[in-house]
Homo-oligomer: A and B are copies of this chain.
Amino acid sequence: MLNLNGSMWIVGVDLGGSKVEVILARRDRVVSTFRGEGLNRQVVGEELVVIKLCEMVNYVLRNHGLVRVDMLVVGGAGLGRSREQKSLEHALYGHDIADKVIVRSDAEIALWGALSGKPGVVVIAGTGSIVFGMNERGRLFRAGGYGYVIGDDGSGFWIGREGLRAAIAAYEGWGPETALKELALKWFTVRQMEDIIPKIYSDISPQRVLSSFAIAVIQLAENGDEVAREIVENGAARLARITVSLLKKLRLKKARHLRITGGIFKDKIFREKFMADVKAAYPKIDIAPAEHPPAYGAVLLGLSYAKEENAKKSKKSRS
């Protein structure tokens, strides 16, 4: 039977390509939070991911005089299928750091964190963007995402890219005049627009380069540049459209809860346009910031799982 008393130690992990967040909790109370470098399974392979991940978890445990915990819950991108989940669980059991190991998708822990287990939708707009939903029967849905080359509408990357495209168009004379032109030349510290090309393509992450340029585009929109404002609003409108299509798919019967998270939602123009568009379709929807980060969602998911398992077992032992 799983330890569910006050001394139960649980570790929740958000395994991302750009960062890994580890939360050590005693039941639902956070004891320690650790943030490490991102681990991309598709780039470095599962073996190295497991080693690096265990290093991070062990580091957190040692700081609290622990050598193992009752439960380890990991959620991450590319872990949506049972095969990948089982494989990573198996490898983590091998390192003997937890009595119980659970691996789930990034969607599932994001939803658990954002909504504390309630059915609803979470919209993430950071470097990338994606929309996850869970209906009243616990079934998961997703929309958008697909990465920077073909998707991520309304993300930091997307806004940065559209901002730079508008700057180029103004510079070359085939798009409307905008302060984005001067902004881009200054931000990338070049005298000719052409010289921006190597700055984008020689970086290992064009996503990161353009996502940080997005901050400047958003600032310009706030300062009244019409073209920049249109880009920010267009990004928000696209993400709202994807969100509304997912809300429709969930067919929620009770209250509709929507949680938003990620750096881009900090911008007022973006947030207000997004909310206005969603409310045009669902006037009574409850929109609020995500309640907790995904790593804490992993903790909550683990606790819920433990409760269910214990309930099953005590029922069995009684019968």
Contacts and interface: CB of A to CB of B under 8 A. Distances in A.
Interface in A142-194: 142-144, 146-151, 161, 164-165, 168, 172-174, 194
Nearest to A241: B174
Interface stretch (A5-13, A66-74, A199-207, A295-303): A199-207
Interface stretch (A18-26, A108-116, A118-126, A242-250): A242-250
Q: How many copies of this chain are found per oligomer?
A: 2
A151 B174 contact: no
Contact of A245 (B80, B174, B241): B174
Interface string A247-286: 0110000000000000000000000000000000000000
A150 B168 contact: yes
A198 interface: yes
A42 interface: yes
A161 B144 contact: no
A97 interface: no
A150 B146 contact: no
B42 A173 contact: no
Interface in A209-226: 210
A197 interface: yes
Interface in A284-317: none
A197 B245 contact: no
A205 B196 CA distance: 20
Given A149-B200, A149-B210, A202-B42, A242 B164 contact: no
Contact of A147 (B197, B241, B246): B197
Interface of A: 42, 80, 142-144, 146-151, 161, 164-165, 168, 172-174, 194, 196-198, 200-202, 206, 210, 241-242, 244-246, 248-249
Given A146-B168, A172-B245, 12 more contacts: A42-B202, A80-B194, A143-B172, A146-B197, A147-B197, A149-B161, A149-B206, A150-B165, A172-B246, A173-B245, A174-B241, A174-B245
